[in-house]
Amino acid sequence: MNIGDVATRSGLPAKTIRYYEDIGLVRPQREANGYRRFREADLHKLNFLGRARSLGFSIEDCRSLLALYEDADRASGDVKRVAERHLSAIDRKLAELDAMRGTLAHLAEACSGDQKPDCPILLDLASAPEG
C-alpha cells in the first residue's frame, strides 16, 4: 500500500502519517522509487494511533501503549495504569472547563446585551486578581 491507501483506510491525513514516521511511531519500508510501502501491520498500528489520539492520549502515551500492544507478554495492568492516569487528567480538565463555563454563563446572563456600554463581563474581567 502507498501512503494514500493507508490514509483513506485509517482516516488519518497523509501528512500526519509522515509525521508519525518522522517521530518513529511507524516504520514503513520503501519502494525502489522512494515511495513508502505500508503493510497490513502498519495499517493496524495507524488505526490504533488514530483511535488512541481521538481518545485524547498524548503522542507519548501512544508510544507507551503501542509498545505494550506489541509486547505479547505485557500485563494488562500496565495498560490500565496508563488509561487511568489519562482518565484523571480528563477529569481535571472537565472540572476546570466546568468552572469556566459556570463563571462565564453567569456573567453572560447578567449582561443585558443591548446598546448600553455597561457590561458586567468587562467589569468582572477588569477586577483585580485575588491574593
Q: Does 41 bind a second copy (CB under 8 A)?
A: no
For the bound state, the minimum distance from the C-beta of residue 37 to DNA, rounded and expressed in Å, comes to: 8
Q: Return the C-alpha cell found at 121.
A: 463581563
Separation CA 42–CA 26 (nearest Å): 7
Do 55 and 79 contact (CB within 8 A), yes or no? no
Q: Which residues contact 108 (CB under 8 A, 6 or more apart)?
A: 121
Largest CA distance in the chain: 70
Separation CA 128–CA 97 (nearest Å): 22
Name which of DNA, a second copy, none residue 59 binds, using a CB cut-off of 5 to 8 Å depending on partner kind. Answer: DNA
Instruction: Count residues near DNA (CB under 7 A).
Output: 21
Stretch that binds DNA, among 9-17, 40-48, 82-90, 102-110 (CB under 7 A): 9-17
- Selected from 32, 33, 34, 118, the binder of a second copy by CB under 8 A is 118
Do 9 and 50 contact (CB within 8 A), yes or no? no
> Site residues (CB under 8 A) for a second copy?
10-11, 44, 47-48, 50-52, 55-56, 65, 68-69, 72-77, 79-81, 83-84, 86-87, 90-91, 93-94, 97-98, 100-101, 103-105, 107-108, 111-119, 121-122, 124-129, 131
